[in-house]
């Protein structure tokens, strides 16, 4: 089935450790995104990519890094520089240019930093 | 950047009741989507509706782009409709969607 797969669904890490969240899509979408959601809040954009080997910072990029080496994959690394990393992370993709096509989400990854 | 305001922030309904959720945005847009986030966190696409009216079963949506608002109608609500409803629009041109803070809906049997 076509869709977006995020892994892991749940992740616990000690403070100071880097963590990489995986996002893979088989929808042949050009644009991919990472959003962060805190409890009871809306979604905030971390990074997005419109094409392979290119990505742009969103509203809250500090403490995060991404890569886009393949069209299907857009991993997010939460670095030790991120001050409040505990959150729900959502990966999404859309056809066409960013913001123009319909946006689809993966099931999310819950990160808890102890 | 564009501002997205959703109302009401919270809504409690008896099963079978109807409701209207509103999304106001501060600038003209060429894309608007409604999502439902279920209690497990999954975001489900409801409507891609930059303008006009669409219906899908008990749900329908209307966007009046010239007046910068969209409405989501839920008829004959069911407990499975519970969750948070988000609307989202692009910040400007070809930029990623900006989300409102959502409307939290609780449907009680």
Partners of B88 on chain A (C-beta within 8 Å) are 43, 103
CA distance A76 to chain B (A): 17
CA distance B71 to chain A (A): 18
pLDDT digits (tens, 9 = 90+) for B34-92: 999 999 999 999 999 999 999 999 999 999 999 999 999 999 999 999 999 999 999 87
Between chains, do B101 and A42 touch, taking CB under 8 Å as contact?
Answer: yes
Sign of the torsion formed by the C-alpha atoms of B47, B104, B43 and A17: positive
pLDDT at A99 over 80: no
Contact A6, A30 (CB under 8 A): no
Q: How confident is the model at residue A1, as a pLDDT?
A: 64
Q: Number of A:B CB contacts under 8 A?
A: 55
pLDDT at A18 over 80: yes
Between chains, do A45 and B94 touch, taking CB under 8 Å as contact?
Answer: no
**B94 confidence band (pLDDT: 50, 70, 90):** confident
Between chains, do A99 and B45 touch, taking CB under 8 Å as contact?
Answer: no
Find the distance separating the first CA and the last CA of chain A, reported in whole Å. 35
Between chains, do A98 and B99 touch, taking CB under 8 Å as contact?
Answer: no
- A45-71 average pLDDT score: 96
B43 shares contact with chain A (CB less than 8 Å): yes
pLDDT at B93 over 80: no
Write the DSSP assignment of A16-67 as a string of letters.
Answer: T--EEEEEEE-S--SEEEEEEE-TT--EEEEEEEEETTEEEE-TT-TTEEE-
Interface of A with B (CB under 8 A): 31, 33, 35, 37, 41-45, 48, 58, 88, 90, 97-100, 102-105, 107-108, 110
- Number of alpha carbons in the 13 Å side-chain half-sphere of residue B96: 24
3-class state of residue B66 by DSSP: helix
Burial B36-53 (b: 16+ CB within 10 A, else e): bbeeebebeebbebeeee
Q: How confident is the model at residue B78, as a pLDDT?
A: 97
pLDDT at A98 over 90: no
Total length of chain A: 114
B102 shares contact with chain A (CB less than 8 Å): yes
A33: nearest Cα among A45, A51, A21: A45
Partners of A108 on chain B (C-beta within 8 Å) are 41-43
| CA of residue A26 relative to chain centroid, distance | 16
């Amino acid at each position: 089935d076509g869709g977006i797969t995020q892994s892991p669904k749940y992740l616990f890490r000690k403070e100071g450790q880097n963590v990489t969240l995986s996002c893979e899509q088989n929808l042949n979408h050009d644009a991919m995104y990472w959003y962060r959601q805190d409890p009871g809040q809306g979604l905030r954009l971390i990074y997005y990519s419109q094409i392979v080997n290119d990505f742009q910072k969103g509203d809250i990029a500090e403490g995060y890094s991404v890569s886009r080496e393949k069209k299907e994959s857009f991993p997010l690394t939460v670095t030790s520089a991120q001050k409040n990393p505990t959150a729900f992370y959502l990966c999404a993709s859309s056809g066409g240019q960013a913001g123009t096509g319909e946006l689809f989400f993966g099931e999310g990854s819950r990160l808890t930093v102890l | 950047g564009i501002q997205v305001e959703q109302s009401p922030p919270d809504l409690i309904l008896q099963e079978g009741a109807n409701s209207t959720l509103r999304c106001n945005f501060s600038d003209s847009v060429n894309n608007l989507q409604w999502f439902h986030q279920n209690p497990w966190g999954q975001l489900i696409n409801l409507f891609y509706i930059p303008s006009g009216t669409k219906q899908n079963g008990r749900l329908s949506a209307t966007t009046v782009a010239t007046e910068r608002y969209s409405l989501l109608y839920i008829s004959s609500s069911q407990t499975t409709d519970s969750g948070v409803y988000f609307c989202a629009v692009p910040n400007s041109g070809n930029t990623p969607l900006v989300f409102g803070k959502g409307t939290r809906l609780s449907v009680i049997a």
